[in-house]
Structure 1
Amino acid sequence: MDLSCFKAYDLRGRVPDQLNPILAEKIGRAYVEVTGAKKVIVGYDIRLSSPDIAEALSSGLMAAGADVFDIGLCGTEQVYFATSHYKMDGGIMVTASHNPKDHNGMKMVGPESRPISSDNGLNDIRDRVLEPFADAPEQGRYEALEVMSAYIDHLLGYVDAGSLSPLTIVCNAGNGGAGLVIDELEQHLPFEFVKVHHQPDGHFPNGVPNPILPENRAATADAVIEQGAAMGIAWDGDYDRCFFFDENGRFIEGYYIVGLLADQFLRKTGGGKVIHDPRLTWNTLDLVKAAGGEAIESKTGHAFIKQRMRDEDAVYGGEMSAHHYFRDFAYCDSGMIPWLLIAERLCQSGEPFSSLIDARIEAYPASGEINRTIDDPPKVIAAIEAKYSVGAKNVSHVDGVSIEFDNWRFNLRMSNTEPVVRLNVESRADIPLMEEKTKELLAEMDRLNQEG
């Protein structure tokens, strides 16, 4: 049996050769045997193969003795929400997020929506799939569970309704599932939504929803300009990540959104801890300190950030890859809470989105993440570290290597999920310096790679 769909954090693979209903049924059985779960939330995304895979998964869960609470078509964060809100033993979302349309996958959590990844059960589930199964003495039961209304109430709890005023907002669901939530939220908010690629459609007539790809941004940016909107939002297919455009249709780097959300959250809580990743940091450190909070660096990746947030009881965590985590959301990531907070900030400040961001980009210009395919990543990273650590103010290994000087810094790390090296460079209010150092580092990486 091909088990290549089991990855470090979740399951993803091509349907039907790497993931299909037969395997899904076995995964359901193995999940119960490994975790001991008795009550499990199951949800699925808009992909054409998702209902069949979710049904087979549910059959396996019930055959192993677990009760299945089916929340139907939803986003990943609704599985997180339902698992923690209804105090279930676990949850499984059938989704392949932004992978090609002939792919599918699963994201698994345990009690309190704690992630299940390769270091805490996912590999055990994979290994268990290969062994024979016997039915549980008592089959689990099936129940359809309506979670949308409780979820919408929860989302609205993050903003002060009295401070909201009319705004025009472009929202691009990319034919994923986000549009269903916008339609529900719309009834409670004074905003006018301009809906782009709004209908859920697993055929993905406008391409797979992945707004991090520059070629996928034009539809949102153009609509913002045409409609004179205050901002644009675009989501990936299972809407656990959201991406922002200002009133000029400019795509905002995720790094600056982390700082803005940290600031907005700390204003509400009057302080607290904020977790951030080590790739780009100075803007976040600056804003968190000014708002009376404490910034804490964590290794990149949702399993690491969620665990660190629990350890520190942090109010908010942000990654520049557009994952935003909230203590009151079971420390999980949401693609809906961030834009609500930013819309609230626009209403409260009366300033255009661009003015909230421009000052931050000027203070801390950044390269954005640049990926390079490198034959021997550890060797290249070690050589760069040896060269640049001479005379550096600080060298850190929280994730890859971060090297800091008085007026610029960079982070170089191996991807957790693909065979590339990722570079991020930033400076203090000096765009030419940031650009010069970015070019210099990329040239050095190319040279080292060619040397082999």
Structure 2
Amino acid sequence: MSTLTCFKAYDIRGRLGDELNEDIAYRIGRAFGQFLQPQTVVVGGDVRLTSKSLKSAVTNGLLDAGVNVIDLGEVGTEEVYFATSFLQADGGIEVTASHNPMDYNGLKLVRKGSRPISADSGLADIRRLAEENAFPPVSRRGLYRQQSVLGDYVEHLLSYINCDNLKPLKLVINSGNGAAGHVIDAIEAQFKARHVPVELVKVHNNPDGSFPHGIPNPILPENRQDTIDAVLAQGADMGIAFDGDFDRCFLFDEKGRFIEGYYIVGLLAKAFLQKKPGAKIIYDPRLIWNTLKLVEESGGEAIMSKSGHSFIKEKMREVDAIYGGEMSAHHYFRDFFYCDSGMIPWLLVLELVCSTGRTLGELVSASVDAFPSPGEINSKLADAEAAIARVRSAYEQDAIRTEDIDGISIEYPDWRFNLRSSNTEPVVRLNLETRGDKTLMAEKTEQILTLLRQ
């Protein structure tokens, strides 16, 4: 029995060839069918050059397991989430490696109701069945059909805003040659049909799995320049950039400045609480002060969850939260089946800019000044555990609070930090914030990184 190393905590991701290939994808399809016993499963794939063949293999595995398959074609992850619930299917599979390097691909799996399947909710069982590879003979193949849900999906997206509130604005939208382009085209067509005076300037909008302008991953500073340049050249009011499967969106203000996801969480929480006072908002432990302040001021209830989509979705369902946000630019919505979407956030921010008459820069500037943060800093370390322990023992004794909800969070009166090992990459992630003191921010960041990387 061969060990499959492509199975991670939340999804399946691996290097093409040895860790993930068509044979393994077929076995995952068979295992998914055997474990869940679904009647109908929705499949989709991103624009990577290997996604089509891997999707075909996983589809064959499902069909051989007697499962009916609805193939959505080339779509982003959230289109699979949407279709699974909208079509009342028993599960969904998206073939994607999101922002991973060129030689990777992967699969994201959900069950009925678009609920995530992660290590503790079925992924380990699917892995075991795929590794054993002892499937019964094919007795009845499932039925295969192709179907698009694009129109219904875009209608759902636009239900989050009131198009009558939108004013003449120009937006730069960079799809990074990933999967977002066709959705942006469909939204643009709807704007025109509804006489919405918003102009979309599209950058790298055509899907191209060879990624001629680099892997779409705007969280890396080197991948932001094309969006910044276009915002400045066009005199745009806002810039939006997506990762490969567009489950995350990244925002740039009218001056081309990248806005950290952390400040967007507070902004969206406030926007939801204006519409639904008293609602519950989920946040993650990495950066928290701005979110807590805005939720409290807006009369909402802030509830902490571990980072990672399966934890946040579970917590949102448990407490019936209206919105959940991670500083990594994942935003979750109750009315989107508690799933994350990269399309809903920019539409909400667009409406906010129009209804307040303030630019995106003006909307976040008070938060950025009140709680400065250098953004997430990653360190590749030989012994992550020892390094984290070293930092902990140096800072813990004088702290006013220490928490172990997700990695370690240590808090002082005027600054705090969170240190955690990544669930998806071999790195330790540092997040730090202060109460309005950029000098202290730089000083403490430098101290902790020096200790961490000794």
Q: Same fold (TM over 0.5)?
A: yes
Name the SS for the 2:200 alignment partner.
Answer: strand
Between the aligned partners of 1:161 and 1:242, the Cα distance in structure 2 is 20
Q: 1:136 Cα shift?
A: 4.4
Match of 1:16, as an amino acid?
Answer: G
Match of 1:126, as an amino acid?
Answer: R
Aligned to 2:429: 422
- Cα deviation, 1:209-243, whole Å, max 9, x if unaligned, reads 11111111000000000001010000011100110
Between the aligned partners of 2:57 and 2:242, the Cα distance in structure 1 is 28
- Cα deviation, 1:367-402, whole Å, max 9, x if unaligned, reads 211112233222332232233222322111111111
Between the aligned partners of 1:19 and 1:393, the Cα distance in structure 2 is 46
Match of 1:64, as an amino acid?
Answer: A
Between the aligned partners of 2:219 and 2:99, the Cα distance in structure 1 is 10
Name the SS for the 1:187 alignment partner.
Answer: helix
Between the aligned partners of 2:263 and 2:425, the Cα distance in structure 1 is 25
Contact 1:232 1:246 in 2 (8 A): yes
Aligned to 2:403: 396
Between the aligned partners of 2:411 and 2:376, the Cα distance in structure 1 is 17
Matched, 1:406 2:413: yes
Between the aligned partners of 2:452 and 2:98, the Cα distance in structure 1 is 31
Match of 1:204, as an amino acid?
Answer: F
Between the aligned partners of 1:59 and 1:147, the Cα distance in structure 2 is 22
Matched, 1:86 2:93: no
Aligned to 1:48: 49
Matched, 1:379 2:349: no
215-224 or 42-51, which moves further after superposition? 42-51
Aligned to 1:149: 151
Name the SS for the 1:72 alignment partner.
Answer: strand
Return the match for 2:267 from 260, 263, 274: 260
Q: 1:411 Cα shift?
A: 1.0
Match of 1:96, as an amino acid?
Answer: A
Name the SS for the 1:198 alignment partner.
Answer: coil
Name the SS for the 2:121 alignment partner.
Answer: coil
Aligned to 1:305: 312
Alignment of 1:115-194 (within 5 A): 115-129=116-130, 130-189=132-191, 190=196, 191-194=198-201
Match of 1:210, as an amino acid?
Answer: N
- Cα deviation, 1:314-347, whole Å, max 9, x if unaligned, reads 1111111111110111111100000000000010
Q: 1:123 Cα shift?
A: 1.9
Q: 1:274 Cα shift?
A: 0.8
Name the SS for the 1:261 alignment partner.
Answer: helix
- Cα deviation, 1:176-197, whole Å, max 9, x if unaligned, reads 0111101000122221111111
Any unmatched runs of 5+ in structure 1? none
Between the aligned partners of 2:100 and 2:414, the Cα distance in structure 1 is 38
Q: 1:279 Cα shift?
A: 0.6
Contact 2:390 2:452 in 1 (8 A): no
Matched, 1:314 2:321: yes
Between the aligned partners of 2:292 and 2:443, the Cα distance in structure 1 is 24
Contact 1:258 1:284 in 2 (8 A): yes
Return the match for 2:352 from 345, 349, 353: 345
Between the aligned partners of 2:253 and 2:79, the Cα distance in structure 1 is 27
275-284 or 102-111, which moves further after superposition? 102-111
- Cα deviation, 1:292-322, whole Å, max 9, x if unaligned, reads 1111111111111111111111111111111
Alignment of 1:198-237 (within 5 A): 198-237=205-244
Between the aligned partners of 1:124 and 1:168, the Cα distance in structure 2 is 48
Aligned to 1:98: 99
Aligned to 1:69: 70
Between the aligned partners of 1:44 and 1:192, the Cα distance in structure 2 is 29
- Cα deviation, 1:113-169, whole Å, max 9, x if unaligned, reads 111112221122122123322244332111212210110110000001111112100
Between the aligned partners of 2:425 and 2:26, the Cα distance in structure 1 is 28
Match of 1:258, as an amino acid?
Answer: V
Name the SS for the 2:119 alignment partner.
Answer: coil
Contact 2:27 2:133 in 1 (8 A): no
Aligned structure 1 segments of 4 or more residues deviating by more than 4 angstroms:
none
Match of 2:180, as an amino acid?
Answer: A
- Cα deviation, 1:253-296, whole Å, max 9, x if unaligned, reads 11111111111111112231111110110000011111111111
Match of 1:121, as an amino acid?
Answer: G
- Cα deviation, 1:33-80, whole Å, max 9, x if unaligned, reads 111111100011111211121112111111111110111111000000
Between the aligned partners of 1:379 and 1:4, the Cα distance in structure 2 is 25
Match of 1:344, as an amino acid?
Answer: E
Q: 1:2 Cα shift?
A: 6.2
Between the aligned partners of 2:281 and 2:397, the Cα distance in structure 1 is 31
Identity %: 56
Between the aligned partners of 2:343 and 2:65, the Cα distance in structure 1 is 34
Between the aligned partners of 2:389 and 2:5, the Cα distance in structure 1 is 30
Contact 1:64 1:135 in 2 (8 A): no
- Cα deviation, 1:79-128, whole Å, max 9, x if unaligned, reads 00111122211000011111222322110001111111122211221221
Alignment of 1:290-301 (within 5 A): 290-301=297-308
Contact 1:2 1:18 in 2 (8 A): no
Name the SS for the 2:124 alignment partner.
Answer: helix
Between the aligned partners of 1:134 and 1:111, the Cα distance in structure 2 is 24
Aligned to 2:58: 57
Match of 1:421, as an amino acid?
Answer: V
Between the aligned partners of 1:397 and 1:82, the Cα distance in structure 2 is 37
Match of 2:393, as an amino acid?
Answer: A
Between the aligned partners of 1:172 and 1:226, the Cα distance in structure 2 is 14
Aligned to 2:451: 444
